[in-house]
Amino acid sequence: MATISGFQVGTALETADGTIVTGCNLENATLGLTMCAERVAMFKAMSEGYRAFTRIAIVADTENVTPPCGACRQVLWEFAGNLEIVMVTRSGETRVHRLEELLPLPFDGRLLNRQGQAPNR
């Protein structure tokens, strides 16, 4: 539903049991509150009870492969770990990466103290 930018993205997130959960980007007038396809699929899967994932395919209506944005990389890392990222263009060009290649120094729970709070800075 890229009604403003026309930049259409769809995803297919595969769970550990082989279930496919799909998502698309959803835009609104402020654009800053837009939800990317990757996060839509992840939040949908999590809300349906899935907790383990193997890969996500990202298909964009573009000439170039489109990797996940920074916010999506962070969400994918926190909920799915080092999953496989498959990026596909409208012409079928495909690139495959592991998430750790796209997010080499992630922020995650390992950096928080035992009480689950961010350390004092």
CB 71 within 8 A of CB 38: no
Structure tokens at 88: 């596909």
Distance CA 102, CA 98 (A): 7
Could you tell me the end-to-end alpha-carbon distance of the chain, in angstroms, rounded to an integer? 40
Tokens 């409208």 belong to residue: 90
Task: Considering the candidates 14, 27, 38, 93, report the single residue annotated as catalytic.
Answer: 38
**Residue 38 is a catalytic residue:** yes
CB count in 10 Å sphere of residue 47: 9
Q: Which residues are catalytic?
A: 38
